[in-house]
Each structure stands twice: as structure tokens, then as C-alpha cells.
Structure 1
Amino acid sequence: MTETAAVPASPPISDADPFAAEHLEHPEPLHRRLREAGPVVRLSRYDVHALARYQEVRAALVDWQTFQSGAGVGLADFRHEKPWRPPSLLLEADPPHHDAPRRVLREILAPLALRRLRETWQTVAEEVVETVLAEPGREFDAFEALAKAFPLRVFPDAVGLGPQGREDLLPYGNMAFNAFGPRNALVEADAHRVGDLSARVNARCAREALSEDGFGARIWAAADRGDLTHAQAPLVVRSLLTAGVDTTVHGLAAALYAFATHPQEWQRLRARPELARVAFDEAVRWQSPVQTFFRTATTDVDVAGTRIREGGKILMFLGSANRDPERWPDPDRFDLTRDPSGHVGFGMGIHQCVGQHVARLEAETLLTALARRVGHLELAGEPRRHLNNTLRSWASLPVRIRPAS
């Protein structure tokens, strides 16, 4: 009897549009259907393969040789389409082009550098908390007053940005993360200001726009040493700003939303403030500020019995993987007794977010200051989402607090 090679199976097909408003607003039902359909699902609307289970998402994230980022981590294929901006040297590059920028940033953001920032950030966090405690009725928008206000103050300071231009960072990040999806209404809404907004942010990355003692100056110093080229330096500063602001802001908002809707977990944090860093990671797992990323197959490859052709795009649902019940018991619950390590909210492998420890320190600092002063935290109205093709982001998060007795 002659043995024949197994023929890869045809995956289930879905005509759902993950970038439709209803799925961006409430992604969990679609994620559940995709996970239940199979390890690989073809999205007929975009002719891409979707991975929604933890095992396949994690495997694709770490296998940069098979699933490259250099062709773009969005729907657009940079091998055939001109990028709307110079690609990120971290997010949209693979070795060897990716290596030097990442090595430079890893050294700049080393634990010793972050420890030096802790005391300053603690002081700022206490000032921010004091401000919200003084709000009339102690009701305020936690997205504006906490999740945005704190990172947009401390992180640009650390990078070396002056006070001007910080208001451009979130709009620019919103535009950049929208661009990873299809050219839909969300992308079109910003089309009129792509050039102007990009130019303003790029100007903030120039050497003369940065202080002499921040992360940005150290990136330019690395170029002087030959660790980077001088052409790469402003792109690395830009990558640091994009990655270090949006995901932290929306990750902090996720944590505040989690505590406002889980009062018992807030009391757990107050009793054990050392759980602040775990709380942030659990919030990132639970809400996944970065919901999706694309990769491009570098060769014909079989994934769980499905053949993906060379050049084919895969869409990895990070938010779905982080709620896969095969990986996480009771995954839809925010739970500080859980060990959230291993979540893919910051990616995985060589493209894992290089600034994740900065985000964790910001969150730890602010949540600890809040837990010390705030005895009760609850929603004061209906939160509103801000729709984005890639980010699980927020428009407002009305809360009411009571000071600790």
C-alpha cells in the first residue's frame, strides 16, 4: 500500500468583519465564535487567516522567521504597497534590521534607569491623586484625570520632550494604530491631517527638540557612537513615543475600569498594595489594549492542519488569546489571585513591547498612590469607548471615589 501525504484541511470560513464598529465596541462574542470555530479561520472579507486561540497566537508571535513583521503588522503588505510613514524600526522590522534599535532601547530602558525614575514618578502620582480627591463630589472622568494625565506627564518628561506638543501624541498614536486595519471610516476620519500631525510629532523627535538628559538624548548619543545611524535615531524616538504612550494610557484605563467594576478586587489591592503590578498585567490580559496584529508568511506553512501560502497574511487576535479558556480558568473574570504572566497583551518573542517595564512602573506607581488614598472606587456613569482598528481604547470613564478613612 502506498502512503500519500496528508492534504491540509480547508479551515472554517467567517464573513465577519472584525473591524466593524460592533466588534470593536464588543469584541468578546466574535472572539468566542472564532475560537470555537477552530484553530485557524479564514476571514473571507479580507482573505486572511485568523488565529484566535492562545496556542496558535503565541506560536506565531515567537516565530518571526516564518511570520515576518517587516511586510507590515497591518493589513497592508509593504512588499507591494508604500507605507504611509517610514516603518517602525521595532514593530515593522525583522532581524537584522530590528536588532540594533531594540538593543539600544533595551539598554536605555534597563532596570537601573527605571529605578531612578521611581521616586520622581511617585511624587507626581501623589499630586495627581490629590487633584482628583479635590474634585467636587469626588466625581470625575478617570480616563482624562488619571489614565491620560499621569502618563502624558511623566513619560514625555523621561523621553526629554518639552511641554509643547504632548497633545499630539495620543491623536498620532490613534492614527498609527488605526492604520494597521483596513482603510475604513476610522482611517478616513484622520486622512486630512496625516501629513500635519506626522510632521509635528516627527519634529519632536529631532535632537534639538529634546532635553539633554532624557531617553531621547541617549538614543541620539547611541547614533553618535555608531550603535545606530543618525537617520534611524528619530525613528527610534518616534517608536518609543508611540509604543510608550497609547498602550500605557489604555492599559491604565483598563485597570481603573476593572477596579471600578470589581470592588472586592480594589479592597484586595488596598490590603496588599504590592499587587499593583500584578493588577496591571491582569487588566492588560482582561481588556487587551492592543487587540490585533498581522504577520506575513515567509513560506508555505501548515498551522494546525491549514496551509497558509507564502505571502499570506494572518491576523492574530491577542485579545481573544488572552481570554482563551484553554489557557486561562474563568478567563472573563478580572482576578488578582490569578497569575497573568504569559499573556500576549505586550506581544511575545523578539517583537515583545520593549517598553513594557516602563508601562508597569507607571501603573504600579499610580495604582499604589490611589490605593493609599482612595477607600472606594465605583462607576459614576456609563463608560464610553473610543473605536480604533487595533486598540481597545476609551473616550471617557466616569467614576466616583471616597477617600480612605
Structure 2
Amino acid sequence: MTSPVATFETPVSDVDPFSYDVLEDPLPFQAELRAAGPVVYLKKYDVYALSRYEEVHAALTDWQTFQSAAGVGLSNFRYEKPWRPPSLLLEADPPHHDAPRAILTKILGPREIRRLSESWAADAENLIDQLLANGTEFDAVADLAAAFPLRVFPDAVGIPHKGREDLLPYGNHAFNAFGPANELVAQGAPRVAELSTSIAAQCAREVLTPDGFGAQIWAAADRGDITEAQAPLIVRSLLTAGVDTTVNGLAALIYAFATNPEQWTRLRENPGLVRTAFDEAVRFESPVQTFFRTTTRDIEVGGTVIPEGRKILMFLGSANRDPRRWENPDEFDLSRDPSGHVGFGFGIHQCVGQHVARLEASTLLSALARRITTIEISGQTRRHHNNTLRAWESLPVRVRAD
């Protein structure tokens, strides 16, 4: 095969995208990347960065050239052993990816999850009742964005109550591990074995309730649609990807409305905007900021030849703020059509649980909009640093209720 020929010198950056300053506020660095060119070589990690919407979207949809099976983190599974068995959803390509994806697509489809709407709506109302009973000031991360998914999603999966406290710490480490072996990974390392054992125990057939997503996955193994060895790994993928990302998506939503009160007024006047609001918040904040791919051949992108077998780092958050794709991208705007954002990925590896996340968000947001007239930041906010996620540690708010 004849290799493509580069047409210009690739821009180089010495910045560490996983440094404290960038994780605290990635927007200036992402703007520098987009301005530098369609491909930028990141010297510190010997990887190629894609930060503009067009190139990120193209890489996400071309799984044949930009493979996930070598890992969606910095570690290259061609040469390095993963710290845990790879995800059958995130870290696999066809044909190995096909059966697990088909099973979850059916289980988590819109019709299948609609049955959860009524009970989740009641849970949302109860949660808001509890919050308002204790006053009008609370932490929107711990008391709302984390509390609601941890209340409804584990029940939907059917996992036991014991061990649920390990879901967020395990997910935090899993998403940190997609980045370099830095201090954030080291902080989670002492609990890896303990947390992995806990999560594995929750994926076992015998502990799952008979009416949850987990039991449906095991039923697929009984039918022969997947193997018995695959079943617990698929349940694990559901737990890993379905909690932290939703928590951070909900926190992004509350932050966006607290800092854009006119948009909250617009939502209350038009409650039908709840789904648009969540997708716009995901575009605006991009709870999942980055993912890696590995090239399967020499490929020219924007004049740069990326050799076969090299890691590329896709900046999803940057693509979602690219002015080439979005008008006034730094504004949170409910009049925008946010469809097409890459906050859930794109292509065959697009987040299979996005319908669940949207239902959680629209349910909670609808309940809030009926009860809460204003939301405002009431204290010092703190970011939670993670190599992959854009997250909040604390988001103190003050609300006024009808």
C-alpha cells in the first residue's frame, strides 16, 4: 500500500492536557489546539490530537481506521496488558463488539425504558421534597446530581444495595485510567483490587433481581446470544459507563442553568425543552472530555500523515465548542439544536445508554422545573479532576420554590 504524503508540517504542542491547570479549565488549551490546525502532535505523550469537530466526528465514525480494540485510553493493548478485562462495548470492534452491542441496544431501547418513567418521576419528586424540607440551599452535586442516579439506576440494573457505594469510586478510577499513569491514577491504585472485586460481585447472576437490566443480560446468555463469560462483563460495562457520566451530565445541567437564569425561565415557560436542555448541557460542558483511538493504517488527516499503530487523542469537549460547527459555542442556549454533538460519542461506539441518561435527566429536570423558580450559585464551587471526565466536586446552590 502506498502511504499518503503529508502536505505541511504538523503543529506541535508541549502542553500536558492532563495537567492540573488544563483539567481545571480545559477551554483555553482546547481553543489553542483548534487554532493550531486539524491535527496537533502532543510531544509529552507521543500522540496526535484531534480537536476540531469535523476531524473528531470523522474518527468516531471510522472504526475500521481508528480502532477501539487497542484501548480507548493512552495505554496500547497491542503491547500492554489492561488493568482489567477490556470492555466489550468501549474496547472492542466488530465482530466482537456486535453481539454485546445488540443485546444492550435492545435492553436499553426507548420502549424498554419507558416503563421506568412513572417510578422515576415519583423518585424525583420525593428527592426534591427531601431537599426542600431541609432548606433552600444544598450541594447540587452530592444532594441532586449524584443522589438521583444512585437512587434509580442501580435499581434498574438490579444490583444489591450492598456495594453501591463503590460505584462512583470504581468509575472514577476507570475513567482516570484512560489517561496517563499520573497522580490521579496513583490516588485510586490502592483500592483497585477491592473495588474490582466489589463490582464483579454485583455483576453475578445470583445477586441480580429478576426484573432488572442485569437479569436480561444473563437471559441473553441463556439464549446463546452471548456467552456466559461475556454476561458479567456487559453488566460491568453498564455500571461503569452508566453512573459517573450521568452524574456529571446532571451536574453540568444544574451549573448551566444556575449561571444562565434566563434559560431556566425559558425552560419553565416551555417544559417541552427538557430533552434539548440536557443535550445542550452535554454539548456545553462535555462530561466525557476525551477518548483515544489507535490507527490501523497510515492515514492522512488535514495534511498530516498519522502512521499505523499510533494513538490519537480525540477532544470531544473541544469539538463540542468548535465555532466551525456551532454558532456562539460558548453560550448555553436552549434555542440551539444540539443534535450532532459528540458528547455521547458517535458511530457504532456511541453511548448505548444515552436513552437511559436522557430519561434520568428529563425526569429530574421536569420535576425541578415544576417546583423551583430560581437557581443560583451560593458558594465556592470546586471541580473534581479526572483524566477523562469534566466533573464537579461541589456545586453549592440556593433555590426558590413555588
Which TM-score tier does this pair reach, normalised by the shorter chain?
A: over 0.9
Q: CA deviation at 1:7?
A: 4.2
Matches within 5 A, 1:159-170: 159-170=157-168
Q: In the aligned structure 1, how far is the partner of 2:155 from the partner of 2:309?
A: 41
Matches within 5 A, 1:113-192: 113-136=112-135, 138-192=136-190
Q: Secondary structure at the match of 1:190?
A: helix
- Structure 1 regions of 5+ residues with no counterpart? none
Q: CA deviation at 1:264?
A: 0.5
TM-score norm. by structure 1 comes to 0.98
CA contact (8 A) 2:290 2:313 kept: yes
Q: In the aligned structure 2, how far is the partner of 1:314 from the partner of 1:110?
A: 31
Q: Secondary structure at the match of 1:400?
A: strand
Q: In the aligned structure 1, how far is the partner of 2:6 from the partner of 2:169?
A: 47
Q: In the aligned structure 1, how far is the partner of 2:134 from the partner of 2:12?
A: 51
Q: Secondary structure at the match of 1:385?
A: strand
1:394 paired residue among 377, 392, 395: 392
Q: In the aligned structure 2, how far is the partner of 1:273 from the partner of 1:81?
A: 49
Q: Secondary structure at the match of 1:389?
A: coil
Matches within 5 A, 1:287-326: 287-326=285-324
Which digits, 9 at most, give the CA deviation of each residue in 1:163-189, with x for residues without a partner? 211110010000000000000000001
CA contact (8 A) 2:255 2:395 kept: yes
Q: In the aligned structure 2, how far is the partner of 1:187 from the partner of 1:276?
A: 35
CA contact (8 A) 1:9 1:307 kept: no
Q: CA deviation at 1:27?
A: 0.2
Counterpart residue type for residue 107 of structure 1: K
Q: In the aligned structure 1, how far is the partner of 2:182 from the partner of 2:225?
A: 39
Paired position in structure 2 for 1:383: 381
Counterpart residue type for residue 403 of structure 1: A
The 1:78/1:253 distance shift into structure 2, 3 A limit, reads same
Q: In the aligned structure 2, how far is the partner of 1:316 from the partner of 1:256?
A: 26
Q: In the aligned structure 2, how far is the partner of 1:393 from the partner of 1:170?
A: 12
- Structure 2 regions of 5+ residues with no counterpart? none
CA RMSD of aligned residues (A): 0.8
Which digits, 9 at most, give the CA deviation of each residue in 1:42-66, with x for residues without a partner? 0000110000000000000000000
Matches within 5 A, 1:82-93: 82-93=81-92
CA contact (8 A) 1:169 1:245 kept: yes
Paired position in structure 1 for 2:335: 337
1:358 paired residue among 347, 356, 359: 356
Q: CA deviation at 1:6?
A: 5.0
Q: CA deviation at 1:369?
A: 0.1
The 1:21/1:86 distance shift into structure 2, 3 A limit, reads same
Q: Secondary structure at the match of 2:142?
A: helix
Paired position in structure 1 for 2:78: 79
CA contact (8 A) 1:207 1:217 kept: yes
Counterpart residue type for residue 31 of structure 2: R
Paired position in structure 2 for 1:243: 241
1:225 paired residue among 223, 226, 230: 223
Counterpart residue type for residue 265 of structure 1: Q
Matches within 5 A, 1:28-67: 28-67=27-66
Q: In the aligned structure 2, how far is the partner of 1:243 from the partner of 1:392?
A: 14
1:99 aligns with 2:87: no
Q: CA deviation at 1:10?
A: 2.4
Aligned residues: 399
CA contact (8 A) 1:295 1:315 kept: yes
Q: CA deviation at 1:8?
A: 3.8
Paired position in structure 2 for 1:265: 263
Q: Secondary structure at the match of 2:398?
A: strand
Which digits, 9 at most, give the CA deviation of each residue in 1:5-53, with x for residues without a partner? 8544321000000000110010000000000000000000011000000
The 1:315/1:7 distance shift into structure 2, 3 A limit, reads closer
